[in-house]
Amino acid sequence: MADLARQSQSLGTRPALLLIDMINAFTDADSPLGSESDAVVQACVRLQEAFRARDLPLCFTSVVYSNDGQAKVFRARLPALNMLIEGSAATAVDERLRPRASEPVFAKQYASAFFATGLDQWLKDQSVDSLVVVGLTTSGCVRASVVDGLQHDYVVCVPREAVGDRNSDAHIANLHDMHAKYAEVLSVDDVIRTLQGSL
């Protein structure tokens, strides 16, 4: 069955860069939660630099647990999540993407960056009208955040080189599905050209 007809959408005048779970636990290939993601990190660095150069907002998420009662079912299903303890090196943003003081890191316990966090209010406070969503993993927290971004009425863009997954088939399938229904999937170069040309 063919995909539904869709209408392309462009970034607005005030996009934000949302870096999903670019933390040591996910970017370190030797971590139980990690994968080989150096190319994803470098793509995120390029976008980070482009947004900073234009004084556009950017923010991060990290999965963080401060007590055993948080996300009990999720953690029981995926026991490796139990390493994501508040204050641990595992939950820190990868040093290559170090946040500035003005760039918040939203702690979350589930997949979506929007669920039970202050993200949406922060975006509204920054007058954001669209999102560029990057990070890890494509089939998990990136996809959940993209869907919720749409459900909060933001135009969403996903630069394909700036997201990654442990499973290459899941990565490809989820990029296809997000582009078909929820977001614009473009190259990093295309996103940067858009920032240069229209903002």
Enzyme catalytic residues:
141
Specify the DSSP class assigned to residue 112. -
Q: How far is CA 164 from CA 33, 52, 63, in A?
A: 13, 23, 17
d(CA 132, CA 64): 23
Residue type, 132: V
d(CA 178, CA 34): 23
d(CA 102, CA 99): 8
Peptide bond into 117 cis (omega under 30): no
